[in-house]
Each structure stands twice: as C-alpha cells, then as structure tokens.
A and B are shown apart, each in its own frame.
Chain A
C-alpha cells in the first residue's frame, strides 16, 4: 500500500526490559523535562497590571467620531443599522436648526443613537458601511456590568469628547 506521508513510525511493542520496568530512568527523564520548564517563558501574565497587545485587526467598543472642528459626523443615514447582522443599532434622526452648525456637521443628525452591546457581535460591518467616517471600533474591551440596561450604550456613551471644548477648558 502506498504511504500517504513519510511520518509513520514503527512502534516498538517488545516487552519492557528490567531497567524500563523499574521506572527510575523514565522518572529521571520526566524530572528533567519539568525542571526545564523553570527557565521557560511564562504563558500567563498578571493581567490588570500587564496587558497583552491586541492584534492590529482587533475590534472592540464603538465610538462616534467628530470632525476636526468638533462637530458630530453622524448624519443618521441608517446604513450602519442596515449593515448590522445582529440588529444591534437603532437611531432617530433630527434636523439641524440654525445656530447648531458648530454641533452637527450636516443638516441631519442623530438625535438618538443606541447600540445594544449584548446583541453586538463586533463584526465591524457598521464601520465599513459608514459613508461619513462617523463610527469606529476601538481597542477597548467591553466592560462587564450587572444590569441588562447598562449594556445599551447611548449616544453620550459612544460620542468622543469634543476636542474644541477641552481646549477652551
């Protein structure tokens, strides 16, 4: 019969010799292996103090972005909600009133924007769907909580702080 790979090894099934049956040599060998592990790199880290770097494609909590003047980019077009396979995003649109040009970049904005983090699967389709570069997935891991309500992230939780306002403070 033709061999599939060259990795097949003939197993030695001859009865054990006296030195093998005394176990001592194999125990010494085993001790050598375990002692060797003293010098090996630890696989675990002491977590909260020491964090492992995420992979470059890691997708964590969402943020809603602002433009360079500090105005909200989101126009409540609903494409992210449409793209979302888990149906985690809901929003309500509103029209910009005169005098609110500093707050919202375009004539339409999201009055209400909610992501249910218990539904969200962090696929990142919303980020890909957004035509206005408004929603991004960050490198933050979602924190745990006690109530279901706290996992519904409102617009205030998602929106990044206004850089202009921070400068004026």
Chain B
C-alpha cells in the first residue's frame, strides 16, 4: 500500500504528472474574481468564503479524470486488480494520493488567496478548518466518479456531471462554515455536518468505488 502511495506521489511530481494543475486553476479563479466583480472590498469580503470554496472544488474536479484513467490506459489497473492488494485499498490509496497532491496544496494556498479577496481576519481559521475537513470528501467522492467512468474514452464530461451533485452537500456545508466563521457566527452545526459527510464518504465510498471498478474491468 505504501508502495502504491509513493509511486502515485512520485508520478504526480515528475514531469507531466499533473501536480500543480489544480493549484494553478485555483489561483487563476480567485485572482480573476476581484477583476470581474469590481473594486468593492465589502462585497468581496462577503463572497470570499464561497468563491474560495467553489474554486477549491472545481480545482479538485479538474484533476479527477487522471486519477484512474492513466492506470487504466497503460494496463496497470488490470495488474493491480490481480495483485494481492484488495481493490478497496487501491482506491483508498488513490484517493489519498489525490488529496495529498491536490487537496493539501489548495488548503495551504487558500489563506494567501483569502487576502486577495479581502477575507475578514477571523475567517482565515475557519476557512482552513473547513477545507481540511471537506477536501478529503472531495477526493473520495471524486475517486468514485473516476471509477464509474474509467472505461470510457473522454469520460471527463460524464464524470463531472455524475460527481457534481455528490459534491453539493460538501460545498454547502463547507462554505457555510467558512462564511459563518468570517462573519463571527457560531459554526458548530455546519462544521459537524461537514465532518459527518466526510467521515461517511471515507467510510463507505471506497467499497462502492471498488465494486464499480470490478464491473468496469470486465
């Protein structure tokens, strides 16, 4: 399992591995928003949590179609399926590798980009906490979407359509935590719901992903 994680990380950081794709997209979205909205700092401060969360979510989505498709194309997925590693742990490791290469950089970049959007000071802490709790769910749900569409050529569009509705609860509660945090309100309820969604996704979806992957490998 560690070997698979290390290989995926190594692949991501080597040339053409796609590391930085999500980060660059996130950067572009959040830098462009002030230009399109205009120089109204109080409006920017109000929409900052939502924009940052939406940017992070779309950045995650952007890198999903490489998650399993590359391994499918070069045949590694077949070979992994006959290896002693159960497919459940394979998809979990894949999701973890995706989170480390996409989710983690987004979390680290979010506070810096929050400054650009005039995010209130008390909001930074909750923005980071909400992303920390929410992005693992984005990776796990995304892996499920990738597993569903793995055999399809150019399945990216279908995958986005399938994954988007599943992302909605995470987006709602994640940006709610960030918004309430920024406005100095109590965050407990959305925070707990966000954590619950993440915990449930991490606990259940690897089994679903492995099951659909088995069907798709036929």
- Whether chain B is bound by chain A comes out as no
Give residues in B with beta carbon < 8 Å to A: none
Give residues in A with beta carbon < 8 Å to B: none
